[in-house]
Amino acid sequence: MKALVKLGATFDRHAEPDWQQNLMWAANQALCGVIGVGVPQDWATHRIAVELTALWGIDHGRTLAIIQPALLRELIEYKREKLEQFGREVFGLNAPSAEDAIAALETFYRSVNMPLHLRDAGISEVDAADRVLAGLRAHGKMALGGHAGIDEAKTERIVRAACA
């Protein structure tokens, strides 16, 4: 994520080969799992985000940006310490709160033109959250478990916040 934030600061150069190579390297490291070795992982954001792609064809990066802040807010007490570390290490914040880290993440996403809510991706359907939840139910993904114990109620709050 730190590499992505650094690249985001030079987003105006995104058409240049060296910028693209650095993006590909960061993406490769995230996808191959090397950076997650020995670290608890939480794939709930991805599991919810794929429903947005399935329903509306929104690319995965944008769906992650839509879901992640809502998920982090829902799990803020459980993830507080890690979010504070994230704020310090990735965004260089001094003594950040978890809320500061989430705000910095949203600022970063906006700076690279990523949507923060489903409506920002051009989806304004009144029943959007219900459609996402129906898809999650159909795929058996309402209780996402994970380290924070994401149950059906939490999943519903996350989806409704992201689709608001």
Domain that includes residue 65, residue range: 43-163
pLDDT tens digit sequence for 23-33: 999 999 888 88
pLDDT at 145: 67
Q: Same domain for 6 and 75?
A: no
d(CA 11, CA 95): 27
Spacing of C-alpha 43 from chain mean position: 10
Is 0.85 topped by the overall pTM? yes
pLDDT digits (tens, 9 = 90+) for 73-117: 999 999 999 999 999 999 999 999 999 999 999 999 999 999 999
Taking only the tens place, the pLDDT of each residue in 108-133 is 999 999 999 999 999 999 999 999 99
Number of domains in the chain: 2
56 and 132 together in one domain: yes
The H or E element containing residue 76 is: helix 76-91
Residue 70 CA: distances (Å) to CA of 8, 16, 23, 49: 21, 33, 25, 12
Indicate if 47 and 23 belong to the same structural domain.
no
Cα distances (Å, whole numbers) of residue 144 to 94, 152, 158: 33, 8, 12
- The span from the CA of 90 to the CA of 76, in Å, is 17
